A = this chain, B = another copy of it.
């Protein structure tokens, strides 16, 4: 089963998820209007989705470039040595690291970082080379920055 038995993902729950992914601050009363339920009923459903771990949080999305973080980059870390746990902990603590994935294949570890300057990138790469060799790719643009997760078709539509 892909979801808790207490939270069947019916049409209404999918719709609530879509609405909250689009505007997390929408009041329960307005959610209720859009799905045809009373506000308390919506609150109950949303709280169940939270408790079931389907909704993991509500986040204001912020534009780093408006806050002085002019660079965004991916750094692939090809790790040498066998201190992977130490590396993982250390990299996770770096304030520039927004996301950090462990992947299959050659890439292994990938960081998404935001930086105020090339100087800061230089300093970061020097810190990282303790753990292995790095490959840096700057983000030029984001054709898709975010997509709402929805029920979706079981089969993908043709191009």
Task: Report the nearest B residue to A24, measured CB to CB.
Answer: B58
Q: What is the total number of copies of this protein in its complex? A: 2
Q: Does A149 contact B (CB under 8 A)?
A: yes
A124 touches B156 (CB 8 A): yes
Q: Does A157 contact B (CB under 8 A)?
A: yes
Q: Does A130 contact B (CB under 8 A)?
A: yes
Complexed CA–CA distance, A21 and B60 (Å): 4
**Which residues A59-112 have CB closer than 8 A to chain B?**
59-70, 74, 88, 90-105, 107, 110
Known: A24-B24, A67-B54. A127 touches B156 (CB 8 A): yes
> A-B pairs with the 6 shortest C-beta distances?
A20-B60, A100-B144, A24-B58, A103-B137, A2-B68, A24-B24
17 A-B pairs besides A20-B60, A101-B141 with CB distance below 8 A are: A2-B66, A3-B66, A9-B67, A21-B59, A21-B60, A25-B25, A54-B63, A55-B61, A56-B61, A64-B149, A74-B103, A74-B107, A95-B156, A98-B146, A99-B147, A101-B139, A102-B140
